[in-house]
Amino acid sequence: MNSQITLKQLETLYWIARLGTFERAASRLATSQSAVSKRMQELERASAIEIFDRSQRGARLSAKGEELLAIAEKMLVLHDQIADVRASETGRPRLLRLGVTELTAMTWLPRLVGVLREHYPALKISPAVDMSRTLFSALEDDHLDLIIVPSAFRMPEFFSLPLAEVENVWMAKKGLIDTSRPHSVRDLAEYPMLMQGSQSGSGILLNKWLQSQGIAVQEALTSDSMTALLGLAVAGLGVSYLPGHCFSHLVDSGQLEIIRTEESLPPVPYVAMYREDRPHSLIHHVAEIAASCADFECSFQS
């Protein structure tokens, strides 16, 4: 009788814990539910651990099962690292297809790339910078492995790991609006509004917020590009919501000024998204590294 713990058993445990049921784990691993059950029986025998709490319904881990899961996750990461070593020996680097929006690209993407290279020296990173909806579609079509976008999209087969929030403020060209007093957002809506559209995750979230406040925009200039909106704001064509920290240098130089409002804009949460039915520990570990690197509070110098 084989009493050895195998990587396949640990990978199966990982996906049962992640997806919640034996059935979903079997689908993810392209095998049968009976094969998944057999692997867990073999793992319990080999480890002498009762992995599941059988007093509970479903695939609920016991306390010892949780400890074993933590070890399994480390083993899977180590397996990926061994694959990196093998790839470096054979000259075939592993590929990470990473999608980000322009705000991530101009803030903390360089730091993320640096940390990834420290952890995975043989990893080849293929970046794509685009609109949130375009990146999400590419993830759906399996053209990207992981995307970093505002939390505006949800589907059951995608996993989202929270990263950080972006604080936006209203900005306009100096002198366009009286800044001696706070304004209501309803008052600002009487000016031309420079807004992101339906291809932008931030635009989707913030435009929904404006609608929830019952604010009707009188005149809107729409662009999915935040950089384009920034240029239009500097040109004095209207009022826009922009990440205050990133463009503070334009406030300091007098090109823009912050418009104080009675109602604060809601923060925009960013997430790392990847498919649940794609390979496991490398992408998950990249997402965790992204969470440790995410920092939108920086000044972008043009």
8-17, 82-91, 212-221, 275-284: segment of lowest average pLDDT: 82-91
pLDDT in tens, 281-293: 678 889 999 999 9
pTM score of the predicted model:
0.69
Cβ contact 147:138 at 8 Å: yes
- Band the pLDDT of 69: cuts 50, 70, 90: very high
* Residue percentage of the chain with pLDDT more than 70: 91
- Band the pLDDT of 300: cuts 50, 70, 90: very low
Average pLDDT over residues 57-63: 83
With a cut of 50, say whether residue 302 has pLDDT above it. no
Dihedral sign for Cα 234, 239, 242, 245, please. positive
301 DSSP assignment: P
Average pLDDT over residues 254-283: 84
Cα distances (angstroms) measured from residue 121 to each of 73, 114, 124: 20, 10, 8
Instruction: Report DSSP letters for 163-203, one per residue.
Output: EEEE-EEEEEETTSS--SS-B-HHHHTTSEEEE--TT-HHH
52 DSSP assignment: B
Q: How far apart are CA 229 and CA 238, in angstroms?
A: 9
Question: Closest by alpha carbon to 209, among 155, 263, 258?
Answer: 263
Question: Closest by alpha carbon to 14, among 24, 25, 27?
Answer: 25
Q: How far apart are CA 137 and CA 151, in angstroms?
A: 14
Which ranges constitute the DSSP H helices of the chain? 7-19, 22-28, 33-47, 63-90, 102-105, 109-119, 132-140, 185-188, 201-212, 226-234, 248-252, 281-293
Tokens of 46: 């080999």
3-state secondary structure of 87: helix
pLDDT in tens, 146-156: 999 999 887 77
Angle separating helix axes 63-90 and 281-293, nearest 10 degrees: 100
Cα distances (angstroms) measured from residue 183 to each of 134, 180, 243, 259, 260: 35, 9, 19, 8, 6
What pLDDT sits at residue 28?
Answer: 75
Please state, as a whole number, how many other Cβ atoms lie within 10 Å of the Cβ of residue 145.
20
Q: Over the range 204-218, which residues count as b (16 or more CB within 10 Å of their CB) and which as e?
A: bbbbebbeeeebebe
Beta carbons within 8 Å of 237's beta carbon, 6+ residues apart: 192, 194, 221
Q: What is the separation, in whole angstroms, between the first and last Cα of the chain?
A: 66
